[in-house]
Amino acid sequence: MCGIVGYIGEQNAAPILLSGLKKLEYRGYDSAGIAVQEESGIKLVKKEGKLNKLNEAAEKELFNGGTGIGHTRWATHGRPSDLNSHPHADSFSNIVIVHNGIIENFRELKDKLSAEGQDFVSETDTEVAAHLISYYYKDDLKNAVQKAVSELEGSFAMAVMSNTEKDRIIAVRKDSPLIVGIGDNENFLASDIPAYLDYTDDFYILENQEMADIKKDEIKVYSFTGELIADKKRTKIDWDSEMAEKQGYEHFMLKEINEQPESLKWLLQDRLVDGEIDLSESGLEKDWLSNYNKIHIVACGTAYHSGYLAKYLLEDMLKIPVEVEVASEYRYRNPLVDEKTLLIVVSQSGETADTIAALRLAKDMGAAVLALTNSRDSSIARESDKVIYLNAGPEIAVASTKAYTNMVAAFYMLAVDGMRQKKNIDPQKVKQYTADLIKLPELSRQMIVQSEEKIKNIAETYAKKSNIFFIGRNTDYTLALEGALKLKEISYIHAEAYPAGELKHGTLALVEEDVPVVALGSRIDIFSKLFSNLKEVKARGAETLLITIEGQSYDKESVDYVIELPELNQYFAGLLAIIPLQLLAYYTALICDKDIDQPRNLAKSVTVE
């Protein structure tokens, strides 16, 4: 898996394919390749490593053709290599294919096709699909692809060309995203919208188990069973390509950290009406809280951390039971779900495979589903009953920053709107909390300005360390989890988070002279408990960083570094506390000279299990 592009039209396809792949670099990859239809046949070039290697090889090939497909690969089957890179072809070089996802029954299919005399040269499951389409190919590419996909098990998005039918691309989507861009006598194909925003803002978003037959002057969309979808909806995208560019920042991650005040404003401004929170556009009823007796929150990675923070808030503020679980675990147990359960799924991309599977499981059991996602027309947005769009704009860096803060802020809005529905809560308190939410964009801007230089200095020290610990209590523990994840994602320094009160139950054995410990202390009601734990690590020689609210009293001899947050309601101060942790990860990775926007082995949208 990772990024798919395709082009069919009057222009030379190769530069357009390479440009599209460049726009999808943020998804993470280990190799890349393109295939272009020429008069003499399909010409193919692919290289392990970054796109500059593919660009150099493509320049030497002098491509000249108006139809082509391309791919950036993130290895799932077979190690990264030129041979395992996409595109892949069948034994006769008639069928050429690129593929995202995993074909789960590739071994059985490979054995069957090998017995038919087909020869395999790579270790990939994708090559099996190319051979299977070739096996069924007679004189119509769409029919061959349709027969092949009926045998494939797993998740996949594919783009397929044939040497025999030179002006045609067949695209199929099953549990892995794919979009078709609509142009003037030219059309585009990609796994994500930013690939072709320079060329079009008009797209078809393929639904699950849909197939597109793409020519330069025509696009037809079919179901996997072959029925034409005559009323396929077109989607206008209101992003522009400039939003996905670095705009003078060295990395997308730093740009996106600095965009957080604006993205928070985008989230809040449409949901605040006359000083009150209005979530009616999401599909939530005015009295939604009374419809449910429990809430389940399911997500992965950073999105899971936002949900974990929400568990503490929603139970405390609304007195409703909340379970939070990583999606890959939720889907393989038997959750206690019924029609009185509200399932909240959280996903920046809206295409996270495990989260989609959990959504479908709970929905089949009767739960109502509310999605928090940044991607309109994504699978999760379409399959959920209600949606709060995060409005964070395109997030390019693999390590999520502004999408995370908007997830947290969306949960803040849910909590305050739920408080409004509680008869035992003073309406003035709800108004005050709403006013506190309105302050978040400006306070987050202050947080970036006030903490950045301090964090740069701390990063100089942390970049030399091998192990770093993060501690916190209550919502601060969930922030510690996110801070540790950010640091290890992009700096590759071992970082772990622990509930502060658990240190003495084993973890304290790992704390020794000069080991950094980052303590989150935004919860003033339990700050004294947190600080006692910080003193425990300081007594064992730890180098301590404390992040707490401005004006908090503490023993300064126990703290080596301190970052103070602007004064704010302790429920919401956590959103400000994450900003210095994002900056710490960024500047530490910068000093360590790591690939910040595309950390090794990671991808932006995980569309396989």
**pLDDT tens for each residue of 351-380:** 888 999 999 999 999 999 999 999 877 889
In the predicted model, is pLDDT for residue 414 greater than 60?
A: yes
- The Cα 456–Cα 87 span in angstroms is 43
Lowest mean pLDDT among 72-76, 467-471, 533-537, 550-554: 72-76
In the predicted model, is pLDDT for residue 606 greater than 70?
A: no
Contact 53, 1 (CB under 8 A): no
Q: According to the model, what pLDDT value does residue 400 have?
A: 93
Which band of pLDDT confidence, cut at 50, 70 and 90, is reported for residue 193? confident
Q: According to the model, what pLDDT value does residue 377 have?
A: 75
Average pLDDT over the chain reads: 90
Is the domain 246-425 a CATH 3.40.30.10 member?
no
Q: Tokens 């070039």 identify what position?
A: 45
Structure token digits, residue 361: 């499981």
Q: According to the model, what pLDDT value does residue 597 have?
A: 86
Q: According to the model, what pLDDT value does residue 593 have?
A: 93
In the predicted model, is pLDDT for residue 341 greater than 90?
A: yes
Domain positions in the chain are: 2-242, 246-425, 447-601
Lowest mean pLDDT among 513-517, 572-576, 582-586: 513-517
Q: According to the model, what pLDDT value does residue 604 have?
A: 57
- The Cα 177–Cα 156 span in angstroms is 8
Contact 315, 322 (CB under 8 A): yes
In the predicted model, is pLDDT for residue 608 greater than 60?
A: no
Three-class secondary structure of residue 206 per DSSP: coil
Q: According to the model, what pLDDT value does residue 605 have?
A: 57
The model's pTM: 0.72
In the predicted model, is pLDDT for residue 607 greater than 60?
A: no
Pick the CATH number of 2-242 from 3.40.190.10, 3.60.20.10, 3.20.20.70, 1.20.1250.20: 3.60.20.10
In the predicted model, is pLDDT for residue 273 greater than 80?
A: no
In the CATH scheme, what is the code of domain 447-601? 3.40.50.10490
Which residues are 220's β-sheet partners? Answer: 213
In the predicted model, is pLDDT for residue 240 greater than 70?
A: no
Q: According to the model, what pLDDT value does residue 378 have?
A: 84
Q: Tokens 């996905």 identify what position?
A: 244
Q: According to the model, what pLDDT value does residue 592 have?
A: 95
- The Cα 198–Cα 19 span in angstroms is 10
Query: Which positions are annotated as active-site residues?
Result: 2, 604
Topology alike, domains 246-425 and 447-601: yes
Helices 573-591 and 402-420, packing angle to 10 deg: 170
Q: Which residues have CB under 8 Å from 217's CB, separation 6+?
A: 185
In the predicted model, is pLDDT for residue 238 greater than 80?
A: no
Of 441, 386, 442, 392, which is closest to residue 414 (Cα–Cα)?
386
pLDDT in tens, 532-544: 888 888 888 889 9
Q: Give 517-583 as a DSSP string.
A: EEEEE--GGGHHHHHHHHHHHHTTT-EEEEEEETT----GGG-SEEEEEPP--TTTHHHHHHHHHHH
pLDDT in tens, 6-64: 999 999 999 999 999 988 876 667 889 999 999 889 999 999 988 889 988 888 888 88
Three-class secondary structure of residue 201 per DSSP: coil
Average pLDDT, stretch 132-139? 92
Encode 236-265 in three state secondary structure. ECCCCHHHHCCCCCCCHHHHHHHCHHHHHH
Q: According to the model, what pLDDT value does residue 239 have?
A: 63
Q: Give percent of the chain with pLDDT exceeding 70.
A: 97
Contact 542, 511 (CB under 8 A): yes
pLDDT in tens, 446-499: 999 999 999 999 999 999 999 999 999 999 999 999 999 999 999 999 999 999
Q: According to the model, what pLDDT value does residue 436 have?
A: 93
Q: According to the model, what pLDDT value does residue 243 have?
A: 62
Q: According to the model, what pLDDT value does residue 274 have?
A: 76
* CA geometry: angle 213, 218, 219, nearest 5 deg: 40
